[in-house]
Amino acid sequence: MKAVSRLREVGIIPIIRASTADAAVPVAEALLRAGLPIVEITMTVPNAIDAIGTIATRFSGKLLVGAGTVTDADTARRAVGAGA
């Protein structure tokens, strides 16, 4: 429920769609520095699970990471396992 409270508090979920997983990381950092502590990485990002894992680890406790464009249960499980 902490995540839901955080979502309600912030009121916006920036969505990151990048050409590579590596490109998503500095975008997440910029959003955090701008005061937006929530990001969604879409599964349309190549190696999105890697991006989620990197961002979740690097900004642990500071940034809530979600997964978007999730179309099946296996992808959902992998995203959660990576830190979404």
Q: How far apart are CA 9 and CA 38, in angstroms?
A: 11
Over residues 12-67, the pLDDT tens digits come to 999 999 999 999 999 999 999 999 999 999 999 999 999 999 999 999 999 999 99
CATH label of the domain that carries residue 62? 3.20.20.70
Segments forming the whole domain that contains residue 14: 2-82
Per the structure, the count of domains in the chain is: 1
Give the model's pLDDT for residue 75: 98
Give the model's pLDDT for residue 9: 86
Q: How far apart are CA 24 and CA 48, in angstroms?
A: 9
- Least confident span in 4-8, 15-19, 80-84: 4-8
Q: Above 70 in pLDDT, residue 1?
A: no
